[in-house]
Amino acid sequence: MAEPVKDKIEMNSLLVSPDDSSPINDPKTSLHLPSPGTSYGSTLSVGPEASTANLLKIDLEKKISRHTGEERETWGNRAEFLLSLIGYAVGLGNVWRFPYLTQKNGGGAFLIPYAVMLAIEGIPLFYLELAIGQRLRKGAVGAWNQVSPYLQGVGIASAAVSFNLALYYNTIMAWCVLYLVQSFQSPLPWSTCPTHVEGNLTIVNKECQISGPTTYFWYRETLNVAPSINSKSVLNWKLVLALLAAWVVVFLCMVKGIKSSGKVVYFTATFPYVVLVIFFFRGITLHGYQSGLEHLFIPEWKKLADPQVWLDAATQIFYSFGLAFGCLIALASYNPVRSNFVAEAFFVTIADFFTSIFTATVVFCVLGFKATATYEECLRDNNITMSTSDGNGTVTKCDFKTIISESASGTGLAFIAFTEAINQFPVPQLWSVLFFLMLFTLGLDSMFGTLEGALTSINDMMLFPTARKEVVCGIVCGTMFVISLCFATTTGSYVFAMFDSFSANIPLLIIAFIECVAMSYVYGLKRLSLDVEMMVGTRPSYFFMFCWRFVGPVAMVVIFTASIVEKISNGTWYEVWDSSKGFAVMSPWPGWCQVVAALMILSSILWIPGVAIAKYFRLISWKEEVASYFPEEELIEERSIEPHEDTVIEKYLLGFK
């Protein structure tokens, strides 16, 4: 096989530069063979049938390598990129938030608005961010600076939101570490209430008697929660150590950038699916599982008329895919220019959709088992055979729907409801280890993407120009660990709730709105269409362009307006642990917390107008950023792209000029 290739190259020797270090600039006369080891993105093979077109492709890869080999890493292969996207999109929200929203918003009926929002919001924005990253080959800060220097603040805002999210998201992983370590005990520490001896009597802890062992273990043993956010704050040293362990694991996995995290995702992105399948087959053998599935999937069609249902669907799509964090742009920036990111966008978003449904199925099999056991115990304790009503339609005792609804919300779903169900399993230690290891790997995957968005922006801005990437990663992780100690206190769960409620939602809506408007009206859909055609060989459909230019921005304005109206009309509340009642009650946020929440929101979005004003009036001397190399002429020739004649729709509706 080698000799014919050699002969072909010799026959074309007049077309090849004699000095490999000084290649001829004309792509038609620069036919160098690639170095050993084809990079990800190449579909080429050199053999006796090699054509001039194939040799042009080979030379294109060498040109890209010369220009960008030391500037930007690339994924080891397509599988690493795909698994990183799946790991980033499929996270802890799939385990507790989606099942809760589904049962809250009409069961199976909720899947209709969820699917609609997936089509008009989720897939188009996911597609757009991957296109931006792969075309401009920079993180969010550098990419938006390339679109327009006045938009660099959008990238900084995305990095700020990613930073805030990573701060409190890793706290969930710290909780998982605590539960995982204690899962090896027999019996499980949350299976019984603590006792103490007084004389000849063994006294059971009163608070635990009222709340139940799993709830007591969560609020008292794990969080050691204070009565309110206004209470004196004291460090919880168990949580401090767990938080340190979580940040060390994240640092070790990301210390080499995508070269290390790209390998870790082979385990972290696939292991949760293995555990979910195991739990599914275990779940459908549990007594009462069918009641949980009925509660989840039987539609309440009247819910479709409630605007809040559509708002919840849109919000869940938004956060589930991690849109507007800058993380997708950062992950795609490490792609070769010919990678078919469109296929990845469709695969990951649809996979996330069905993963959410499958996860909800598994969760409600377990919750159906737990609720059935509680329901039957209630019937026995009250010596009745069915739930009773007061005659006005209000259930007063043993209502199954009330029991299962109270089990499915927020962090309590994983750390209270699931642990209570696991207590009933044979060999509960095994199921506990599997479950919390699954939660940890889900969180770890999402942390890779979230933190990569912040780290890539720091590297692109050259905030530490002489420091190695390992050092920068260590500085960032160390700084974030110190700041996140505020979550490892007796009031830490309340601070966590504040971050979760305010740090991301409004900033992300604003950032995503600007993304759509900027790419449609500043960068231009005509230019974007050509970029996509050069990278993947086909232009984006009218559907996507209409979503970017019209549907997406309108949907985000509606979501933003509805969110503000909801907060103004209903106020802002958080859950406070009431030890005397044995459950959490709702309490309004204090005034100073609302001020902190406002500052948290402004700390992200003020970068957008701030940077634009500073650049317009030249208040700061900004170093001019060099655009990453993109072989536009070579790709046009390689794909034989002809000049495009604009249609009437493109001219008058999509703004082609």
State pLDDT tens for residues 169-197: 899 999 999 999 999 999 999 999 998 88
Greater confidence (373 vs 493) lies with 493
Show the DSSP H helices in 183-287 as ranges.
Answer: 206-211, 213-216, 237-254, 258-268, 271-283
Q: What is the pLDDT of residue 223?
A: 94
Domain extent listing, the chain: 73-386+396-632
Kindly state the average pLDDT of the residues 457-479.
Answer: 83
Q: Is the pLDDT of residue 284 over 60?
A: yes
Q: What is the pLDDT of residue 546?
A: 97
Q: What contacts 237, CB < 8 A, 6 or more positions away? A: none
Greater confidence (29 vs 75) lies with 75
Q: Is the pLDDT of residue 27 over 90?
A: no
Kindly state the average pLDDT of the residues 562-584.
Answer: 88
CB atoms under 10 Å from CB of 379, counted, come to: 16
Q: Report the alpha-carbon distance of residue 565 to residue 506 in Å, rounded.
A: 13
The letter for the amino acid at 245 is A
Would you state the CATH architecture of domain 73-386+396-632?
Up-down Bundle (1.20)
Is residue 51 within 8 A of residue 323, CB to CB? The reply is no
Binding site residues, as ranges?
A: 87, 89-90, 94, 320, 442, 445-446
86-100, 249-263, 281-295, 508-522: segment of lowest average pLDDT: 249-263
Helix, coil or strand: residue 90: coil
Greater confidence (111 vs 459) lies with 111
Kindly state the average pLDDT of the residues 525-554.
Answer: 96
- Report the mean per-residue pLDDT for the chain: 84
Kindly state the average pLDDT of the residues 63-92.
Answer: 74
pLDDT tens-digit map of 237-276: 999 999 999 999 999 988 876 666 667 888 888 899 999 9
CA separation, residue 498 to residues 201, 322, 503, 595 (Å)? 43, 19, 8, 11
Question: For 484, which DSSP code?
Answer: G
Q: Report the alpha-carbon distance of residue 267 to residue 441 in Å, rounded.
A: 8
Q: What contacts 280, CB < 8 A, 6 or more positions away? A: 358, 361, 362, 365
Kindly state the average pLDDT of the residues 410-422.
Answer: 81
**What values do phi and psi take at 621, rounded to 5?**
-85, 105
Greater confidence (15 vs 266) lies with 266
Q: Is the pLDDT of residue 40 over 60?
A: no
Binding site residues for Na(+), as ranges?
A: 87, 89-90, 94, 320, 442, 445-446
Question: Computed from CA positions of residues 643, 648, 653, 657, in that sequence, does the dihedral angle turn out positive or negative?
Answer: positive
Q: With helix as H, strand as E and coil as C, how does 20-37 read? A: CCCCCCCHHHCCCCCCCC
Q: What is the pLDDT of residue 433?
A: 95
Q: Given pLDDT bands bounded at 50, 70 and 90, which one contains residue 62?
A: low
Q: Is the pLDDT of residue 496 over 80?
A: yes
Nearest to 413 by CA among 38, 95, 35: 95
Helix, coil or strand: residue 256: coil
Q: What is the pLDDT of residue 396?
A: 53
Of 98-107, 487-496, 578-587, where does the model show the most confidence? 487-496
Q: Given pLDDT bands bounded at 50, 70 and 90, which one contains residue 387?
A: low
Q: Which residues pair with 588 in a beta bridge?
A: 573
Radius of gyration of the chain (CA): 28
Q: What is the pLDDT of residue 218?
A: 94
CB atoms under 10 Å from CB of 65, counted, come to: 15
Give the rounded percent of residues in the chain with a pLDDT score beyond 70.
Answer: 86
Q: What is the pLDDT of residue 231?
A: 95
Helix, coil or strand: residue 70: coil
CB atoms under 10 Å from CB of 508, counted, come to: 24
3-12, 79-88, 212-221, 263-272: segment of lowest average pLDDT: 3-12
86-95, 130-139, 405-414: segment of lowest average pLDDT: 405-414
Greater confidence (23 vs 290) lies with 290
Angle value at C-alpha 185, between 179 and 188, nearest 5 degrees: 70
Greater confidence (626 vs 634) lies with 634
Q: Given pLDDT bands bounded at 50, 70 and 90, which one contains residue 133?
A: very high
Q: What is the pLDDT of residue 4?
A: 44
